[in-house]
Amino acid sequence: MRRYTEVLDGIPFSGEQKELYPYYRSLGYDRKTAAVLAIYTFGSDYSYEDKKTLPMDKLYEIFVCPGDEEDEEPGDMITETGSAAEPETGIFTGFSAPTGFPEGSGCSTGRRVHQCIADTEESAPSASSAEIASSSLEAGLISQMFSGEAFPDAHVERKSLEVPSFLRSRSSRERSLKASAVKRMPVTGAPLAMPATDEYEPIEEKDFRNTASQMTSTFRMTTNTASAGIIFNQLREERRIDRSMVRIEEMLNYFRYQSLLPEKDKFRVSCELMPKAGGNKLLYINVQGKEEIRPQQNIVLLLDVSGSMSYNTVQVQAMVATILSKLKDGDKLSLVTYSSRDRVVFRGMKIRDEKDRIRALEKFLAVGVWGCTHGSAGIETAYQIGKEEYIEGGNNQVILITDGDLNFGITDKGGLAELIEEKKKTNLFLSVVGTGIYNFRDDKLETLCKHGNGVYRVVNNLADVKKCVNAEYASLVNVIAKDVKAQVEFNPEVVESFRLLGFENREISHQDFTDDKVISEPFGSGGYGVALYELVLRDGSGPVESGYKYAKVVTTGSKELGTVKIRYKEPLADTSEEIEYVIPSAEDGFTDNLRLAYVVYVCAEKLRGSDKIGREDLDLAEKLCDTLGEEIREINKDDFYKLPEILKRSARDLNVGIHSRDRFDW
C-alpha cells in the first residue's frame, strides 16, 4: 500500500496534516499541541453528555504516540477490495474515512460512517465496511483542475479504508478509549452528489445613468470579501457558478492594492482614471481605513455545530486556533455552540499564557457536531455573555462561524435582521465567517453581518484561513467605523453618463446618504473598500440638456470630474461624520492598482456570464495581466495566478451559465 508521509520535527504526517502542522507551529503552538491539532479534529457524536475533555498530553499519547503495537496482525488493515495490507506502527497515517450524507433538511446528527467501525471492540472490519468505503466519496478525492490550489480536477480516486493501528491495542480498556476518540477524527471531502440548496440574493446588473437627470451615485461602502471566497471554492470543487454568487465589489476587495494609510482622518480616498476599450473611461476609487486596534479584546466565538457542519471541521478548527493565538494577556474568550440547543463551553476565560490557550483548545476539541440549527438561540446566548463580560474601551466582538443553514427558531431574513438590530444596541459587533458549500445560506449571513455592524468572510480551506482570519484578523474584529456610506457626485459638464460596477444590492437613494437611521456596513482596522465606475465623458460642445420638459441643468463651469463623499459613525456613536475628496480633472492617471482592479472586474463579469464585457475587454484584461508590476504581484502572490486562469478558460470550463435562483443538481 502506497503512503505519502513526511517527517516534520520527528513526527511523520500524511495528506493535509503536512500543511496543518507547520501552520499551527507558525501560530506559536508547541510541537505537541500543533501535532494534535493537525491529526485530531473536533468531531461528531449524538450528544454532549458523554463528552469528557481529554488533556492535551493524553490526546498526544492517543493520536501521535499510540504505544506498543507488537502484536498487530497483518489482516487488521483492509483495502477497498478487502485484501490485507501490511500494517504500519506509529502515527495514524493514511486513514481515509468515507463520509456520510447529511439529511436534506440539514437536521442531522452528523455522525460519520467510520464511527460504525470505531464503535466495535474488535478491530477487523467486515465486508460491509469495505462496501461502504467503495460507495462513498472519500477524503482528498479532488486534485488540481488548473495549475494552482484554487482550481482542482474532479476525478475520483478510491482510497483504502484502513483501521488505524492504535485501535488494535491489546488492552480492551485502551481500545474503548481510542475508539471513542476516533469518532472525532477529521473527515474531509463532501458527498458525491446532492441537490443545491444554497441561497443568494438575486443580482440585476445596472445600465448607464445620465448625469443630467441623476448626477449622484450613492451606496453602502463595504470591505467584505465573502463572494470571492465562495467563487474560488466553487472553482476548486468544479461546481457551477450562479450569477448571484458574484458580487463584483467583494471580488475587488479580495485582492490587495498599494494604498497609503490615512495620516489624520479616519479614511483616505484615492482615485485613478484610465481609458478602456470603446473610448470610455474607468474610474477607480479606494477608501482606505485607519489602523486602530483597541488594547483589550472580549471575543465571543459562536460556533455552529449542527449536522450540516460535519464536513467543515478541519477549517473551523484552524480558525478557532488562529483566533486563540491572536489573544494577548488579559483578553477574554468565550465559546458558545449551537445545534438543536445552545451550550456554553466556557465563558470569559482570561488568556494569560500558553497554558490558558491549551486549556481552551482542550475544551474545544471535546465539542461534538450533531443535530439541527437553532441559530437564534445561540445568538441570544452569545450576546448575553458578551454583555456580561463587556470591556469598557475595549473591543467587544461576537464572531459567528456557520454555513448559515438556520432551520430552527428564527430562520427568515426579516426576523434575523430584527433580532440583530436589537442585540447590537448592547454595543457588541457581530462578524460572520461562512464555511461550507452544500447548504450554504449566503443571503442570511449577509443579513446578519450587515445588521450586526460586522464584516463577512468565507473560509473553506487552509489558504482561506491564512488570508481571511490570520492575515486580516485586525480587520475582522477591530471595528473603526460603522454605517460607512459613499456618495459620488459627477460634474454633468464633464461626465455624460456613468455606470457603477457592482454594488447592485448595496445602492441606496441620494437622501439616504445623510439619513443617520439608514444603516450601512462597518470598516475594520486597516480595511479598505474599492469601487469602479465606467464613464462616458462629454466632448465639450453644447449645453447640458436635462431631457425633462420643466427642468434644465444649471452648471458652474467647473472642470472637476466630481466629488467623493464618505459618511460614517464612530463605533459607539449615533451621529455621522463626513469627509470629502475632489477628483480635480478628467485627465488620465493610473497605476497598477487600477490595472489590477480592471482585471478582477473582467474576471467577475466573465464568471457571471455577463453581456457587459466583450472580446476587447478580455483582450485588454489579458494584456494588463501580463504587464502588471512585480510589487503588486508580490502582495497578491497567493491569489494572483487565479486571474489569468479565469481569463483564458472557457465558460464551459468554468461551469458558468446558471443565472437563475432556481435550485439545481450539481
Same fold, 209-292+481-658 and 297-471: no
Q: Nearest CA to 408 among 377, 369, 447?
A: 377
Please, which residues bridge with residue 219 across strands? 486, 507
Q: Which long-range contacts (CB under 8 A, 24 or more apart) does 82-91 make?
A: 82/127, 82/130, 85/1, 85/160, 85/162, 86/1, 87/165, 87/168, 88/3, 88/165, 89/165, 90/12, 90/66, 90/165, 91/11, 91/12, 91/13, 91/39, 91/63, 91/64, 91/65, 91/66
Query: Is pLDDT of 596 > 70?
Result: yes
Confidence at residue 28, expressed as pLDDT on a 0 to 100 scale? 95
Architecture of domain 209-292+481-658: Sandwich (2.60)
Which pLDDT score is estimated for 95? 28
Per-residue confidence at 44, pLDDT binned at 50, 70, 90? low
Highest-confidence range of 14-18, 319-323, 572-576, by mean pLDDT? Answer: 319-323
Q: What is the pLDDT of residues 506-546, one digit of tens each?
A: 999 999 999 999 999 999 999 999 999 999 999 876 677 77
SS (H, E, C) 128-185: HHHHHHHHCCCCCCCEECCCCCCCEECCCCCCCCCCCHHHHCCCHHHHHHHHHHHCCC
What's the whole-number mean pLDDT along residues 643-664?
A: 75
Q: What is the mean pLDDT of the chain?
A: 79
Pick the range with the lowest mean pLDDT from 190-194, 252-256, 275-279, 545-549: 190-194
Q: Which residues pair with 299 in a beta bridge?
A: 333, 397
Average pLDDT over residues 85-111: 32
89 confidence band (pLDDT: 50, 70, 90): very low
pLDDT one-digit tens code per residue, 200-235 = 888 888 899 999 889 999 999 999 999 999 999 989
- Three-state secondary structure call for residue 551: coil
Q: Which residues contact 554 (CB under 8 A, 6 or more apart)?
A: none
CA 101/CA 298 separation, integer angstroms: 37
Query: Is pLDDT of 623 > 90?
Result: yes
Higher confidence at residue 83 or residue 565?
Answer: 565
Q: Fold for domain 297-471?
A: Rossmann fold (3.40.50)
Type and span of the H or E element at 288: strand 281-289
Residue 81 has pLDDT above 70, yes or no: no
pLDDT digits (tens, 9 = 90+) for 20-31: 999 999 999 999
Q: Is pLDDT of 162 > 80? A: no
Nearest to 147 by CA among 650, 657, 656, 649: 649
Domain residue ranges of the chain, discontinuous segments joined by +: 5-182, 209-292+481-658, 297-471
pLDDT of the residue at 410: 60
Whether the pLDDT of residue 414 is over 80: the answer is no
Which one, of 309, 310, 378, lies nearest residue 345 by Cα? 378
Given a cut of 60, whether residue 499 has pLDDT beyond it is yes
CA 322, CA 329: separation in Å to the nearest integer?
16
Least confident range of 58-67, 580-589, 608-617: 58-67
Grid cell at residue 542: 453644447
Picking from 259, 280, 258, the residue whose alpha carbon sits closest to that of residue 268 is: 259
Q: What is the mean pLDDT of residues 442-464?
A: 87
The conformation of residue 55, written as its DSSP 8-state character, comes to: P
Three-state DSSP class for residue 195: strand
Q: What secondary structure letter does DSSP report for 76?
A: G
* Confidence (pLDDT) at 67: 52
Least confident of 79-93, 437-451, 583-597: 79-93
pLDDT at 114 over 60: no
Cβ–Cβ under 8 Å, residues 161 and 62? no
For residue 259, give Cα distances in angstroms to 294, 591, 594. Answer: 23, 11, 11
Pairing status of strand 143-144 against strand 342-351: unpaired
- Distance in angstroms (rounded) separating the CA atoms of residues 342 and 184: 20
Q: What is the residue whose three cell numbers read 471531502?
A: 189
What per-residue confidence (pLDDT) applies to 222? 96
Could you tell me the pLDDT band of residue 152, with boundaries at 50, 70 and 90? very low
